[in-house]
Amino acid sequence: MTDQVLIYMIVGLNTLCQVMLIWRQKLATTAKWKFCCAAVGIPILIMLSMRLLIARGSIHSHVAEQSLVEQYITKGSSMLLIIGPWLVTLAAILTYRRSRALMKTGSSN
């Protein structure tokens, strides 16, 4: 397998794991769908934008040929590919905790 296919598999499996974690949260169904779509959408948007930048010639496809700015863009997008779904999962967990805390304070009044 080529490196690109392996990278896509890693990103896809990471996203799948995060979607499963989000879905197990005790949130409203609409909130679950919003968080799941965000967790899937972030890596897709990043991959598409990088592919478009490479296709336009704005960024070289080989890291060895990239300038310093291009390398920073590549590193940043690589980090977001993995971290993006994790951040969405964290937001889902914090939303659940906030709603649970609001319900506790609301019921004690």
pLDDT at 48 over 80: yes
Q: 24 lies in a domain?
A: no
Q: What pLDDT does residue 102 have?
A: 86
* Overall average pLDDT of the 36-46 stretch: 97
- The answer to whether position 53 is within a domain reads yes
Asked if 47 contacts 9 with a C-beta cutoff of 8 angstroms, the reply is no
Give the confidence band of 108 by pLDDT, cuts at 50, 70, 90.
Answer: low
25 is a domain residue: no
Residue 18, domain member (yes or no): no
Q: In a 10 Å sphere around its CB, with 0-12 CB exposed, 13-18 middle and 19+ buried, how is residue 32 labelled?
A: middle
| Average pLDDT score over the chain | 92
Is 58 inside a domain boundary? yes
- Express each pLDDT in 3-19 by its tens digit: 888 989 999 999 999 99
* Residue 21, domain member (yes or no): no
Percent of the chain with pLDDT over 70: 97
Model pLDDT, residue 80: 94
Which domain range does residue 37 map to?
Answer: 3-12+30-108
How many separate domains does the chain show? 1
Question: pTM of the entire structure?
Answer: 0.85
| Residue 61 within any structural domain of the chain | yes
Residue 15: closest CA among 31, 28, 35, 30? 35
